[in-house]
Every structure is written in C-alpha cells, then in structure tokens.
Amino acid sequence: MDNPVLFAALADGILVTHFLVILFIVVGFIAILLGRILNWHWVYNRTFRYTHLAFIGFVVVQTWLGHLCPLTVWEQELRLKAGQEAYGESFIRHWLHEILFFDAEPWVFGLVYTVFGGVVIGCWYADRKRLVP
C-alpha cells in the first residue's frame, strides 16, 4: 500500500493529535490552577486529574529514557512514506524552533518537562483529598 496522499493525511492527523495532547497538558494545568482559585469543582474530577497526570508522566519518563514520543516517531515514519521531509528532534523542540526560533539542548527540554511534571504531581498531591469520582 504505497499511497503518499494517505500517508501524508495520516501524518497530519497525528500532528493534530499531538498538538491536542500538548494543549490538554498545558491548558489542563492552567485550568487546575485557576480552578483552585475560582473554586471550579470539575478540576477535582479523578478521571480528568489521573488522565492529566498520566500524560505528563509519560512525557517525563520518555524524556528521561532519551526516547522520542511515539506520536513523533509515527508522524515522522508516515512523512517519510509520503515522500515528505521528517524532522529528527522532538515535536516540541521542532515546533518551538519553527514558531519562536527557540533552540536549546535536549537536556533543557528534559529539565523543563521534569519540573513541569513535578509541579503537576505537587498540585495533584495537594488536591488528592478533594478529588471526586
């Protein structure tokens, strides 16, 4: 099955999914912080909080292991099958550089992910008694 158009469309779908996952992690965390201040009860929903914690935890562990996110790997493989150029660094590093011209060593991103993950865990731990099903 060599269909470059299909592979490109699938790669774009993964790109959008990846963006939405990152948006969930970042905006979800902002919502958690605001929810604590503004007394939004939905931010204490266990499913939401466990899902949020799992997503950032996965990112941190992948970074510690020196692995690219599977979504990045799948997108790159599909881009190559579509005859397109693939990038060799992580999704966030690539797009930050493309959008903001921000470039840093991989360890900087690992440190940022780890600190962010630690703050998320800290908020989860602080709120654990308020979490509801």
Mean pLDDT of 106-111: 86
Residue 34 included in any domain: yes
pLDDT at 68: 85
CA distances from 47 to 42, 43, 57 (A): 10, 10, 15
- Give 56 or 91, the one with higher predicted confidence: 56
Residue 99 inside a domain? The answer is yes
State residue 100's pLDDT score.
Answer: 54
Amino acid (one-letter) located at 133: P
- 133 in any annotated domain: no
- Classify residue 48: in a domain, yes or no: yes
Q: Quick one: pLDDT at residue 44?
A: 95
Q: For residues 36 and 127, is the Cβ–Cβ distance under 8 A?
A: yes
Predicted confidence (pLDDT) at residue 92 exceeds the cutoff of 90: no
Q: Higher model confidence: residue 51 or residue 91? A: 51
The structural domain count of the chain equals 1
Q: Provide the pLDDT for residue 90.
A: 67
Q: Do 130 and 44 touch, CB atoms closer than 8 A?
A: yes
Is the full-model pTM beyond 0.75?
A: yes
Q: Report H helices in the chain.
A: 4-38, 46-64, 70-81, 91-100, 106-127
Assess if residue 36 is contained within a domain. yes
User: Is 132 inside a domain boundary?
Assistant: no
Residue 86 confidence class, pLDDT cut points 50, 70, 90: confident
> Does the residue 89 lie in any domain?
yes
Q: In this structure, is residue 47 part of a structural domain?
A: yes
- 101 φ/ψ sector (left φ>0, alpha ψ -120 to 50, else beta): left
Domain that includes residue 42, residue range: 4-127
Q: What is the mean pLDDT of residues 93-120?
A: 79
CA 15, CA 87: separation in Å to the nearest integer? Answer: 12
